[in-house]
Amino acid sequence: MGNYTLGIIKPDAVRKNYTGKIIDRFLQGGFKIVAARLEHLSREQAEKFYAVHKERPFFNDLIEFMTSGPCMPFVAEHKNAVESYRKFIGATNPTEAAEGTIRRDFAESIQNNAVHGSDSDENAEKEIAFFFTVSQIHTI
Ligand code: CMP
């Protein structure tokens, strides 16, 4: 199990000025934020990032949403990062997310669900490299 995962604070949460609150939750939860920046994804970038979902009925709406405003990709460091992070953010659908999780407290809907998290170590590595070069990741 790896120590790094890729998170994104999605456009819904950035728009509502939840960025600081969400980052603080991660820090208080024992995660280190070792890279972060605001980025307004192009359609091409969003389609590439979510290519695995391209046959899903929600794909076009997801791309519209993810390109609707700036988001904040970041790299989180934690022991067993992928699993720890996913537990911390809660289920994809906020109505199913456990109490005290980020999605339960900040998400609007199954699509506008405040944050993204990598689903495996293999994808974490790919997704981190999608947004950040090695020299942009700063171990604290
Ligand atoms: P994320 O963890 O970023 O991965 C894929 C995204 O697609 C997911 O969060 C949601 O934003 C969106 N998504 C997943 N399932 C659905 C669904 N059933 N309806 C609409 N959007 C979805």
- Domains of the chain as residue ranges with CATH: 4-136 (3.30.70.141)
Nearest CA to ligand 1 atom 6: 111
Which regions in the chain score pLDDT beneath 70?
Answer: none
Answer yes or no: 138 catalytic: no
* Ligand 1 pocket, residue 123 CB under 6 Å: no
Assigned token pair, 134:
């090695």
Q: Which pLDDT score is estimated for 1?
A: 85
Assigned token pair, 102:
């980020």
pTM above 0.85, yes or no: yes
Q: How many CB atoms lie within 10 A of CB 17?
A: 8
Q: Which pLDDT score is estimated for 20?
A: 98
Q: Which pLDDT score is estimated for 140?
A: 77
Provide the 3-class DSSP secondary structure of residue 116: strand
| Contacts of residue 17, Cβ cutoff 8 Å, sequence gap at least 6 | none
Decide if 19 contacts 90 (C-beta within 8 A).
Answer: no
